[in-house]
Amino acid sequence: MKNMEDIKSKIAKRKIFNNIFAIIGLLSTMVGLALLVTLFIDLAIDGTPRLSYKFFTSFPSRFPDEAGILSAWVGTCLVMLVTASAAIPIGIGAGIYLEEYARKNWFTSIIEININNLAGVPSIIYGLLALGLFVYFFNFGESILTAGLALALLILPMIIMAVREAIRAIPNSIREASYALGSTKWQTVRNHIIPYSTGGILTGIIIGLSRAIGETAPIITVGALTFIAFLPPSPVSGEFPFINFKWLLAPFTVMPIQMFSWVSRPQQGFHLNAAAAGMILLVMTLAMNAIAIYLRYKFRKKVKW
Amino acid sequence: MFKKVFSGIVAAAMAMTLTNAAMAADKIVKIDGSSTVYPVTEAVAEEFQKAKKGAIKVTVGISGTGGGFKKFCRGETDISNASRPILDQERKLCKENGIEYIELPVAYDGMAIMVNPANTWVKSVTVADLKKMYEPAAQGKITRWNQVRPEWPDAPLRLYGAGVDSGTFDYFTEAIVGKAKSSRGDFTSSEDDNVLVQGIATDKYALGFFGVAYYEENKDKLKLVPVVNPHTGKPVLPSEQTVKDGSYQPLSRPIFIYINYKSIDKPEVKEFVEFYMKNGAKLSKQVGYIPLPGDIYKKSLERFNKKEKGTVFHGAEVGIKVEDLFKTKPEM
């Protein structure tokens, strides 16, 4: 009987440890979540009264009540468009090459190590690179194009790594089956590798873009403006050829810079504007993440091995 | 996805073939420089664009006075905002690149010395007191209030100040320590003056300096300290009156815009500067700055129309009254 008691007390002890760990895990999760929620509530309390249709359709102004984020959110969207169209194809291409085509030798190892290291390089360095390369060498000027490409460079390593992770998760038997049926490498990649890894790739892309959307340092380095009360030329026009690319070379500002400029002003009213802009930026980022989660779910359902 | 890839490549290719000439068709006035001057120039730019109904576009950046001059002297901007006169090395840089300019004062900026409202012992400070607190030799040594003046309490002294890259810091050190950018390193400095406001508002033993505009917005959290004028020996509080009549010295200074001489030929830049001088008094006051006295805006406009190029300064100078700027002829 005494033995039985012993075992019981040991089991009870283990259960306590089990519960303690569960509580630690829960608390750790809550810390991150609580911080985000507190931040958001704090921003919402200050910023919500400023949110109105006018806030989205007004240019910056010296009167906090009249100031809006029109040039900032348009700038952010256009810069993101450039970033996405540059980083996505290059990132996917590089990821597929490194995983599927490249031979494993010292040269590809060096490339791999460098890509991993690049992901950790401070963003201001990319800004300086972009300033020298795009602004002065290619003469793109302090434009949307320059900013978009700078951010594309910044998130490229992240996207490449995400693509590789996604591709690596595909079991080798799929490739072998494809080759057994006589497919070429390209056919295998086109019909199997890309479709099966789309979920992971999209997640990587959107995490990269969510990082890019909040970046300030490289954008300031390449010369984003603070006061700009006009929009870039519209990419779509009524006359032939209907699309134009003039906007790529237009001067611009983005959301984080507009926020930064407002936060450093003495008047309380501007601080409320900054809170409202911060809330919108946060919503934009959360929305992008939500899309990533949805897409991943959707593509995962499609994959049937 | 492949469509997206393709369109991305096409977009990049199209961009390569575009030249900056495509943008030059728009009338743009490009301005960059000091964050201290920024609110004034922003206000003028806002009103100017409204008055022109969008026919002329104005962009304003904040790279700091030094960063602004770097771009200006490369010929990248039409106008540079400056919270201090152009320095000798910047003059040299402009000369090397063949950039000439016109220098115009646009408003006054007063620097305020502030303490916590619970501070009952400080009635006024002298330049010598401030020097004792902020000079490089004070580092690690002057850490208590009674070390500055024996009658002040034996309590820790915690110092705050504008960021070391700002024109405000340059001017403060020039005026107090006697050498620009020379100060102790162990004080709390921030480019964001609101951080300093928070710091002083929550610390009974704090003292700091920054722009008067930040005091105006935080009157309930801070206490303004009169600064003894070294010439009259009287303690003076910063106000529109004392800054304008020159009795709040040495911590008030004019702020400037520099206009690229070549840009004056562009009608949009000329119109903008004229608009600036005509509305500068009203707009600088609206954004919390102290307008220049009397007919200075008129005199500036005259100088601009006569195209008198160059600066009247020889390096950073302290205690210059804005009237004196028009007694000498500017030179390159």
A237: number of CA atoms within 13 Å, CB side?
13
- Given CB atoms, is A16 within the 8 Å cutoff of chain B? no
Assess whether B278 and B321 both reside in one domain: yes
pLDDT at B18: 46
Distance CA A165, CA A201 (A): 8
User: Does any domain span residue B331?
Assistant: no
The verdict on B242 and B275 lying in the same domain is: no
* Chain B contact probe: residue of A190, A226, A259 with most B CBs at under 10 A: A226
Q: Do A25 and A125 belong together in one domain?
A: no
% of chain A with per-residue pLDDT over 90? 30
CB atoms within 10 A of CB B324: 13
Q: Write out pLDDT tens, residues B127-144.
A: 999 999 999 988 888 889
pLDDT category of residue B225 using cuts at 50, 70 and 90: very high
Of the residues A59, A61, A62, A261, the best mutation for testing chain B's interface (the one with the most B CB atoms within 10 Å of its CB) is A62
Residue B105 placed within a domain: yes
Q: How much is the pLDDT for A14?
A: 92
Q: What is the Cα–Cα distance from B219 to B194, expressed in whole angstroms? A: 13
- Each residue of A139-155: pLDDT tens digit? 888 888 999 999 999 99
Q: Does A37 share its domain with A160?
A: no
Task: Write down the residue that tokens 């003028």 correspond to.
Answer: B44
Residue type, B318: V
Verify that A39 and A57 share a domain, yes or no: no
Same domain, A155 and A122: yes
CB contact under 8 A, A267 and B46: no
User: What residue type is A261 in one-letter code?
Assistant: S
Residues B297 and B227 in one domain: no
Mutation target to probe the A interface, by most A beta carbons within 10 A, among B60, B276, B279 is B60
Both B68 and B176 in one domain: the answer is: no
Q: For residue A175, give both structure tokens.
A: 């490739």
Residue B13: how many other CB atoms lie within 10 Å: 10
Of B252, B272, B295, which residue constitutes the final position of a domain?
A: B252
Which of the two residues, A300 and A89, has the higher pLDDT score? Answer: A89
**Mean pLDDT confidence for A111-122:** 88
Higher pLDDT, B73 or B163: B73
Residue B332 within a domain: no
- Single-letter amino acid, residue B253: R
Polymer length in residues for chain A? 305
Contact list, A249 vs chain B (CB under 8 Å): 15, 18, 20, 22-23
Task: Give residue B25's pLDDT.
Answer: 54
d(CA B105, CA B289): 13
Nearest residue of chain B to residue A233 (CA atoms): B23
- Statement to judge: residues A39 and A84 lie in one domain: no
**Which residues on B lie below 8 Å from A295 (Cβ)?**
none
- Find the mean pLDDT for residues A173-188: 92
Q: Please give the tally of structural domains in chain B.
A: 2
Separation between Cα atoms, residue B277 and residue A301, nearest integer Å: 66
Secondary structure E strands in B65-100: 79-82
Beta bridge partners of A193: none
Task: Return the residue in A79, A131, A221, A227 with the most chain B beta carbons within 10 A, the one to mutate for interface testing.
Answer: A227
The chain-wide mean pLDDT, for chain A, equals: 87
Looking at residue B63, what is its pLDDT? 82
> Cβ–Cβ of A225/B59 closer than 8 Å?
yes
Q: Are residues A14 and A56 in the same domain?
A: no
Q: Which residue has the higher pLDDT, A19 or B34?
A: A19
> In this complex, do B35 and A61 lie within 8 Å of one another by their Cβ atoms?
no
Is A85 found in the same domain as A60?
A: yes
* B128 plus B83 within the same structural domain: no
Task: Give yes or no for residue B11 having a pLDDT over 80.
Answer: no
Selecting from A60, A225, A266 the residue whose C-beta is nearest the C-beta of B193 gives: A266
Alpha-carbon span B121 to B197, nearest angstrom? 20
Count of beta carbons in the 10 Å neighbourhood of residue B151: 8
Of B145, B165, B195, B131, the C-alpha closest to B63 is: B165
User: 């479709």: which residue's tokens?
Assistant: A195
State the pLDDT confidence band at A105, using cuts at 50, 70 and 90. Answer: confident
d(CA A49, CA A273) in angstroms, rounded, equals 9
Q: How far apart are CA A31 and CA A41, in angstroms?
A: 15
B245 and B119: one domain?
yes
Identify the pLDDT of residue B317: 64
Question: Rounded mean pLDDT of B237-254?
Answer: 86
Interface residue A234 vs chain B (CB under 8 A): no
Does B244 share its domain with B260?
A: no
> What integer pLDDT is reported at residue A167 of this predicted model?
92
Whether residues B79 and B200 share a domain: the answer is no
Final residue belonging to a domain, choices B252, B282, B300 = B252
Q: What's the total number of domains in chain A? A: 2
- Domain with B48 in it: what CATH number? 3.40.190.10
At which of A9, A35, A50 does a domain end?
A: A50
- Whether A86 and A225 map to the same domain: the answer is yes
Mean pLDDT of B99-114: 90
The lowest-confidence range among A6-10, A171-175, A239-243, A294-298 is A239-243
Q: Could B211 and A266 be called an inter-chain contact, meaning their C-beta atoms sit closer than 8 Å?
A: yes
Question: With an 8 Å Cβ cutoff, is A194 touching chain B?
Answer: yes
- Both B188 and B143 in one domain: the answer is yes
Task: Say whether both B38 and B77 belong to one domain.
Answer: yes
| Domain that residue B293 falls in | 2-109+255-326
Lowest mean pLDDT among A191-195, B9-13, B136-140, B261-265: B9-13
Nearest-CB residue to A249 (from B1, B5, B20): B20
Do residues A92 and A18 share a domain? no
A126 lies in the same domain as A41: no
Q: Is the pLDDT of residue A89 over 90?
A: yes
**Confidence check: pLDDT of B106 > 60:** yes
Q: Flag whether pLDDT at B167 surpasses 80.
A: no
Count CA atoms closer than 13 A to A126's CA, side-chain side.
24
At residue B216, the pLDDT reads 80
On whether both A139 and A64 belong to a single domain, the answer is: yes
Interface contact A217, partner B, CB < 8 A:
no
Q: What is the largest CA-CA distance in chain A?
A: 94
Task: Please list every residue in chain A whose beta carbon sits closer than 8 Å to the beta carbon of residue B4.
Answer: 85, 88-89
Average pLDDT, chain B: 84
> Percent of chain B beyond pLDDT 90?
29
B119 and B243 in a common domain: yes
Q: Å from A110 to nearest chain B CA?
A: 27
What CATH number does residue A87 fall under? 1.10.3720.10
DSSP class of residue A231 equals P
- B78 shares a domain with B8: yes
pLDDT band at B180 (very low <50, low <70, confident <90, very high): confident
Partner B contacted by A246 (CB < 8 A): yes
pLDDT at A91: 93
Answer yes or no: is pLDDT of B55 > 80.
yes
Verify that A116 and A202 share a domain, yes or no: yes
User: Which residues of B are less than 8 Å from A265 in CB distance?
Assistant: 39
Domain that holds residue A283: 52-302
